[in-house]
A and B are shown apart, each in its own frame.
Chain A
Amino acid sequence: MNNFSYTQASTAKEATNIRKDAKDAAFIAGGTTLLDLMKADIEQHPQLVDINMLPFRGIELNDGSLRIGAMERMSDVGENALVLQQFPAVSEALLLSASPQLRNMASIGGNLMQRTRCGYFRDTAFPCNKRNPGSGCPAQQGDNRNLAILGGSQACIATNAGDLAVALAALDAVVLLENAKGKQRRVPLLEFHVLPGTTPQRETIIEADELIVAVLVPATAQARKSHYVKVRDRASYAFALVSAAVGLDVQGGQIRAARIALGGVGTKPWRAQEAEKLLVGKAATEENFRAAAAAAVRGAQPREHNRFKVEMVQKTIVRALQELMA
C-alpha cells in the first residue's frame, strides 16, 4: 500500500471539495474495498478522505420511498425491520453478501462503488483495460468462467460484483448524489453504472467531486413481494456465479407488474425488461416463468468458460419466481 495522508472530513462540502481539487484522492467509509485494492496495488491514492463522520444516516420511509443513508452499514440495513418486511429482496441481497464482519464495516454507498472481482483486474502482472486503459483484456480468451455474458465489449467482460445493486436495479431505486457546490441530483440506479464499451475504466456516472448521499427505493407492491436468489461455488461467503432479484405484483391470479434483475452475468447490474414484459398480464406459472427467463438471456455472448451461466441464470430466475409465489 502506498503511503498517503488521511483527512477526516466533518462535512460533505469539505470532503467533496478535497476531491474537486485532488481527483486522485479517495473517499474512505468502511474501507473494505478500498484498502483491499490499495494493498494489491490495484489503486494508489495520495490522500484518503474519511467520510464516516458525515450525517448520511437513517433507514426510513419518506414520501413513498425507502430512504437509506449512504453511511449506513450493510448489516444494519439488511436486518432493519422495515427493509425486511417491505423490501425483502434488498435485505436478502445484503445478508447474502460478503461476511458478517465485512457487512458490519461496509457502507451502502461504498457497496455500490465496489469494483469487479475479475482475476485479471486484480492481478497487476496482467494487462487490464480497466486498470490500465489500452493495455488489453486477457479475459476475452483467458479464464473467463466468472465473467460476464451480457453487456461485455472487446475491451472488457468484467462482471459487476454487487448483490445489493441487483436488488436495487430490480426495484427501480434512485441514487442521490451531492457535489462540491452542495448541488444534489438523482440518478436511477440503472443509469448509475455504465457499460464498459471502449472505456471500461469508467464504471459509474459519479463525478470526482460527488458523494452518494442516499439510496431511494419506491415502496411498491413488487418491492413488498420481492426475492433475491444467489448461486455460488460454496454455500456462503462467495461472489455470485449468477443471481436474480425478482418482484411481482400479482392480483387475481394475474401479474400486473414484474421486475427481474440479474447479477453475476452482466458488466453492470442487469435489468431484464424484455423478460418482465412477457410476464405482464399473464398467470404466475412455471411455463410463463421459463419463457421470461429465456428472453432474459437473449443476446447473451458467453465465452469459453462461462457458457454454463446461460442456462444457470435462467434456472435461477425461474427458481426465484417460484419461491416468490410459494
Chain B
Amino acid sequence: MSQEPSADSAATTPGAAPTDGSRRSFMKQAGGILGLALAPPLIGQAERFTAFSKTVEGVTEMTLKVNGTARALRAEPRVTLLDALRENLDLTGTKKGCDHGQCGACTVLVDGRRVNSCLTLAVMNQGKEITTIEGLAKGEELHPMQAAFVKHDGFQCGYCTPGQIMSGVACVREGHATTDDQTREWMSGNLCRCGAYPNIVAAVREVAGKS
C-alpha cells in the first residue's frame, strides 16, 4: 500500500486537509490511482468511499450522527466512541466505568442496538445512528425509562444509571423483559455497585408492561 496520500485523496476526503502543520493529519487512499482508474466515471464520492479502502492515520476529521444530529470532530483512529462522545462532543452523560466492557456504564445504542461504547472506535461508527442518554428525553419530558428509574429509585450514586437506562430501553425493545428473571439475565451486562438491582428490575419491568 502506498504511504503517500494518493492523487485523488483531496477529492474524496472533504475537510481532511491538514491545516495544522504540527499534527500528522492526512488520509491515504489505498490503491488510489488504480482505484480511480477502475471507478465507473459517474460514481459518486460517497460510493467510491465504500468501493475502495481508505486508511486513516493521526488526527483526522470525522462525523458522528449522535441523537439525530451530525457532529464533526477531530480525533485519532484509536479514540473510542466513548471518549469521542465525552471528550470531543461534551456528551458526558455516557459514563466511563471500567473502560474494558465489564461494567456497562458506557452503554449507548448504535443503529438501535445496545453496545459498550468503550470497546468500539469512533472512526468505525461513522454513518451510524448513535443514541446516548442525552437523546432520550423530549425536551423536559422524560423518556418512560427515565421516569420509571426516578419513580422506583433505581439508583443510589447514579454513576451506572445512564448505562442502565440505555440498556433497559434496549432490553424492553428486544422483548427480553417479560419476567423478573429474564430481565435480570438480560440486564446482567450492567453492574451497579450500590446494589440498586431490585429497583432497576422494577423500573425496567414497569416500562416493559406498558409497552
B55 surroundings in chain A (CB, below 8 A) = 5-7, 47
Contact with A along B164-182 (1 / 0, CB 8 A): 0001001100101000000
Q: Mark A1-14, 1 if CB is under 8 A from B, else 0.
A: 11111111110001
Q: How far is the CB of A208 from chain B (nearest CB, A)?
A: 16
- The residue in chain B whose Cβ has the minimal distance to the Cβ of A234 is B188
Q: How far is the CB of B208 from chain A (nearest CB, A)?
A: 15
Check if A14 sits within 8 Å of B104, measured CB to CB.
Answer: no
- Number of interface residues, chain A, beta carbon within 8 A: 37
Q: How far apart sit A212 and B20, CA to CA, in the bound complex (Å)?
A: 41
> Which residues of chain A in 1-57 are interfacial with respect to chain B, using CB atoms and an 8 Å cutoff?
1-10, 14, 18, 21, 28, 30-32, 35-36, 39-40, 47-48, 50, 52-53
Stretch of A96-104, A273-281, A298-306, A315-323 at the chain-chain interface = A96-104
Dominant secondary structure at the B interface:
mixed
Task: Check: A82 CB closer than 8 A to any chain B CB.
Answer: no
Measured CB to CB, the closest approach of chain B to A155, in angstroms, equals 27
Q: Which of B113, B121, B186 contacts A35 (CB under 8 A)? A: B121
Which of B76-84, B141-149, B154-162 faces chain A? Answer: B76-84
Q: What residue in chain A is nearest B79 (Cβ atoms)? A: A1
Please give, as numbers and ranges, the residues of chain A lying within 8 Å of B54 by CB-CB distance.
7-8
**Bound complex: CA A163 to CA B50 (Å):** 34
Contact A105 to B119, CB < 8 A, known contacts A9-B53, A35-B80, A39-B99 = yes
Chain A positions within 8 Å of B121 at CB level: 6, 28, 31, 35, 48
A32 vs B189: C-alpha distance when bound (angstroms): 13
A248 → chain B closest CB, angstroms: 26
* Interface pairs (7), CB distance under 8 Å: A4-B77, A14-B53, A31-B121, A50-B124, A99-B190, A101-B114, A236-B185
Apart from the given pairs A36-B119, A237-B188, 6 other A-B contacts in the complex at a CB distance below 8 Å:
A3-B58, A3-B76, A7-B1, A40-B100, A100-B170, A100-B171
